[in-house]
Structure 1
């Protein structure tokens, strides 16, 4: 196995980024962030890739940021230079939140703090039935800086978000599925195959249609209903001129499977 902190794999139209610090519960460190910074633009620009899966090796998806490294790094960053959190937010979390292709988080185990915030960047979440999910910042006197307090209440009921934030406790994958955060819960030995099957199913759809739907859906909660509808109508007008829409309509009429090109 590679000693890289983040592994990049590609299987047809599906890319996979695997957090690879199992001995440290896949905690986020600068080496991992640097690899995210390299891989995300490459995956976004590759027209052959239609879906991205983010998962982890070992018993944890991600237990959060490497606090030891962050504490050490605070004394080393020069004034005016981006620190660990700056880079994590600007080069990893924000690009994933706005990724032009569907992102699936496959939670293979413990998912805490920055790991939860990383999972929150995904469009869909598939979780192992033994995954434990929580915020945990309160347990260490640390403040969530990647969406724990600001984005989590948009994804689960407010009182559930407050419970996770204030208690530092974890909830099961099944409970988080009931609250709407997790889309599918599967046995641990089926997680990766289930995530791959979901990704391959999605990859058969029109890339340009999915990208436009994601842009509207991601912005919808920040707009009024009427503004969100206008945004959708604008993208619909653009999409009318796409090759994929014409191909989809032709395939429907001809009773065949469409061959989308993403344009």
Structure 2
């Protein structure tokens, strides 16, 4: 068998109906390439291995889980990458989908890595801590809207699909969980410089309770800072507003 490692944020799904539901949320067809992040004990892996005609790989850091998966699901042999997801290069040539019950302690880092790979990743289905999922999906104007919301929504359409009860896991986590789906935008925003855009968003939300004129004063000409948009707080700006502002940065 296997042990659960708190240091890796391991809480494994045990509800078969929920496992199947998560995989069904990934609308892939024959010929797709699919990467599972953190298969753990294989709760959704066994359903992914049954999808017809896909090129499937999984990345798992825990040596014990790698051995368990290979013994329990022989079909995964040769498809496992025994490394941290945060340290690997893209595992496929061309486009691939990503799915996983993401370790909650690194879920934001996983998202940022996916953003780095966005040209290759048109589709993501992931389970997150509920509060993180809500932040990713949040619209402007609310307290949940922040850095993750803007940076993800600048490149993907976000769907908050469903919540997962604590009793679906072993052991039950102390936090609630939710599954979201990211679909890359067919008409992307006109972002001239991603580096400037990311800097703008992070700087704006690092002092989210202040009017933008204060935290952003180093990023714009003094004359442009008189524009009325700088009297607003970061949460009041849409993704399109941030994109437009990024074109005006020094």
Fold agreement, TM-score > 0.5 = no
Structure number with the higher helix fraction is: 1
TM-score w.r.t. length of structure 1: 0.30
Relative to the length of structure 2, the TM-score reads: 0.31
